[in-house]
């Protein structure tokens, strides 16, 4: 899964937003950075490049991602860690960053409270979260392909998880409940560019948790072909470009 994620999805979907988040992080001049849900290290690598004197600790709950990411961004200290039970002392960081990870936290206020605990007074929490599914053209096309392949019981992972925390007012309220002062909330739309819809479909079907949902439904090559056909009908054969919308939030401890 990490290999497919890195090859097909990171350059198209995640790197554009990592570049934006990195610029915002650099403007804060951090010295001790903790990254949550670091995945394969796309944001980690960018942080190391723009803040070479900072100490960067990258974490992910998934062992495979930590193992893969540590080879991609070896300048960081990599740790397997659950955001709701961070294995770090209080006040140890002046910046916590997270790219498209908060949607996966089972108990977000609990996780945000942990983030606040490990931040020094006045430290910042900087992260992004996807907007509604309808604002991400690649994943609208993907979901349509899944619904065509599984008309009775299509996987709903993208609708309910990546795009399931898409109301910035709710996110801001959760931050406030954890004791944060919300400083900035921005809507950001960037263009994703992929070589082909086949590459995108491969990335989504093999490099994300929807892979398990498809396998549980007996999916095989026919499912991939159906998804590619639907995505191509909606996006074109490639190269393809489409808008993706997220919210970027910054809060102070």
Domain residue extents for the chain: 2-252
Please tell me the pTM assigned to this model: 0.95
Distance, CA of 187 to CA of 134 (rounded, Å): 14
Residue 2's pLDDT is 87
> What are 203's two structure tokens?
């990335």
**DSSP result, 124-172:** EEEEEEE--GGGBHHHHHHHHHHHHH-SSS---HHHHTTTSS--HHHHH
pLDDT, residue 1, reads 82
Residues of the chain with pLDDT under 50: none
CA distance 136 to 246: 9
pLDDT of residue 104: 96
| DSSP alpha helix (H) spans, the chain | 2-4, 15-26, 42-50, 63-72, 108-118, 137-149, 157-160, 168-177, 197-207, 210-216, 221-235
pLDDT of res. 237:
86
Please give the pLDDT value at position 245. 98
The pairs formed by 170-177 with CB atoms below 8 angstroms and a separation of 24 or more are 171/102, 171/129, 171/247, 171/249, 172/249, 174/108, 174/109, 174/112, 175/112, 175/125, 175/249, 175/251, 177/109, 177/112
Q: Which homologous superfamily does the CATH classification assign to the domain defined by 2-252?
A: Vaccinia Virus protein VP39 (3.40.50.150)
């Amino acid at each position: 899964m990490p290999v497919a994620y890195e090859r097909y999805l990171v350059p198209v979907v995640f790197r554009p937003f990592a570049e934006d988040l990195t610029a915002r992080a650099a403007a804060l001049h951090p010295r001790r950075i903790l990254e949550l849900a670091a995945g394969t290290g796309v944001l980690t690598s960018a942080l190391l490049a723009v803040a070479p004197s900072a100490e960067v600790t990258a974490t992910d709950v998934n062992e495979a991602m930590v193992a893969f990411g540590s080879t991609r961004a070896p300048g960081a200290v990599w740790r397997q860690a659950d955001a709701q039970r961070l294995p770090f002392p209080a006040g140890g960081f002046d910046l916590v960053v997270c790219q498209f990870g908060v949607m996966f936290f089972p108990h977000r206020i609990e996780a945000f409270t942990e983030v606040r605990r490990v931040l020094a007074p006045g430290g910042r929490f900087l992260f992004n979260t996807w907007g509604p599914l309808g604002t991400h053209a690649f994943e609208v096309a993907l979901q349509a392909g899944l619904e065509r392949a599984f008309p009775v019981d299509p996987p709903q992972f993208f609708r309910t998880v990546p795009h399931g925390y898409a109301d910035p007012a709710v996110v801001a309220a959760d931050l406030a409940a954890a004791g944060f002062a919300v400083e900035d909330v921005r809507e950001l739309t960037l263009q994703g560019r992929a070589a082909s819809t086949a590459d995108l479909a491969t990335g989504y079907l093999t490099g994300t948790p929807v892979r398990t949902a498809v396998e549980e439904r007996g999916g095989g090559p026919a499912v991939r072909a159906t998804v590619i056909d639907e995505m191509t009908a909606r996006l074109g054969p490639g190269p393809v470009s489409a808008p993706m919308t997220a919210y970027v939030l910054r809060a102070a401890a």
